[in-house]
Chains A and B, each alone.
Chain A
Amino acid sequence: MVTRLAMTAPPIAAAPRSPRNPGPSWGYGFLLWAERWWPRWFFRPMLMLGTWIAVARLPSQRAHSRAYLAVALARPSTLLDVWRHFFTFSDSLLLKLRAGRGVPVRCTLAPENAAAFDALVRSARPALFGTFHFGGSDLLGYLLGERGRRVSIIRLRVGNSDDTRLLGQRFGDKVSFLWINDPANLLFDLKAAIEAGASLALKCDRLEFSAKTESFFFLGARRVFPFTIYHLALLFDRPVAFCVAVPAAPPGDELDVFASPVFTPDPTASRSTNLAAARLHFQAVLVQLEALVRRHPLLWFNFLPLNPVAAVSVPTAPRPTCTP
């Protein structure tokens, strides 16, 4: 059973100081219109040109992209690398906008961990689904709905976010939103949602709104990641599974979905035993993610500082026994 929560009002108007995506307020609408009506031979070069303008006008995102790419590519990154990073993001945004206006997006679950993940998604058991700002993962909450799993998606409410508005309109019967802009109220929205039997989908790479963080090996260093999802899992006895999506080759309206093993808290074990198991699980998730990031470095869409390297006092997971 799922209770509709705070959704229903996808972000339309922003308060003057509320967060917003970079770019003009009409940007997403124009992009959607142009993609639909301009011929491809004209639209693609225009998109490339627009991406150069974005690279030029967004110095902070450009700097963070360059710093991240230097880590992911293991070499100094060039301006062309940064442009390709921005352009890949534009393609991902377009896929979301297309999905929001009704173009079907086909998802294929990769074989690794597929059986357990699919069984969880199709079961009646409420669960916590984690993902990252990677590839087409923004669409996963909606696509879980397509498999019969209704979810409440935890998101930051931003001003000019037509992709979220359109997806909210299209999948409104399958998803709801919990907005994290007010963490104090979020807590009780979360509690109400979980107690009502809702499944939650949340991204677990940005630290801003996470009460609990821990450090894990990722991209060559111990980096701090949100760990709240596992605390919620233990508090409410909910399984946790992660999945990420990358565009299928050749590029089109198709995604390959990679699922993690399912973490299920053991109610008979102590909290510390469960947390230790959770740390091992998340480290395995990050090993899987890092393998994908190394293969598709342009799909990591955090145009923000990479997760910080941990200070010594931050709790840490054991070093993974294998690295990609």
Chain B
Amino acid sequence: MPDPLHTRLKVLIVETLKLDDVLPEDIPDEEPLFGSPRFGLDSIDALELVLRLEKEFGLKIGSSEESRRALSSVAGLAAYIRAHPPGSPP
């Protein structure tokens, strides 16, 4: 049974980054989101995704190190969101 948060995040990633040739279910839970030739995402994409995540989940990602940790993979992102409920310090 897939984790509903993982599924939601994959849809959000595909929508936000306009990954027209990628289906949400094609994104493996553990695959790195950035630095992967499969997705070809750059720093502006990272910024765009961070802004969307902040809006959707009430997060505050305040540094590049934190974003690297948060955006490591879908599973890493889900773990980050669970560890940082809305209103918690960044």
Contact = CB atoms under 8 A, between A and B. Distances in A.
Given A188-B67, A271-B18, A183 B47 contact: no
B77 to A, nearest CB: 17
Interface string A181-210: 001110110111000000000000000000
A235 B44 CA distance: 9
Nearest to B47: A187
Given A211-B43, A231-B44, A188 B18 contact: no
Contact of B64 (A188, A211, A231): A188
Nearest to A183: B43
Nearest to B66: A188
B64 A184 contact: yes
Interface string A222-239: 000000100110010000
Given A212-B44, A228-B44, A235 B18 contact: no
Nearest to A195: B51
Interface in B21-52: 42-48, 50-51
B46 A187 contact: yes
B19 to A, nearest CB: 14
Contacts of A212: 42, 44
Main secondary structure of the interface of B (DSSP, over half): helix
A69 to B, nearest CB: 33
A231 B47 CA distance: 10
Q: Please classify how large the interface on chain A is, using the bins under 10, 10 to 19, 20 to 34, 35 or more.
A: 10 to 19
A185 B18 contact: no
B88 interface: no
Interface of B: 18, 42-48, 50-51, 62-64, 67-68
Interface of A: 183-185, 187-188, 190-192, 211-212, 228, 231-232, 235, 271
27 contacts: A183-B43, A184-B43, A184-B64, A184-B68, A185-B63, A185-B64, A187-B46, A187-B47, A187-B67, A188-B62, A188-B63, A188-B64, A190-B47, A191-B47, A191-B50, A191-B51, A192-B62, A211-B43, A211-B44, A211-B45, A212-B44, A228-B44, A231-B44, A231-B48, A235-B44, A235-B47, A235-B51
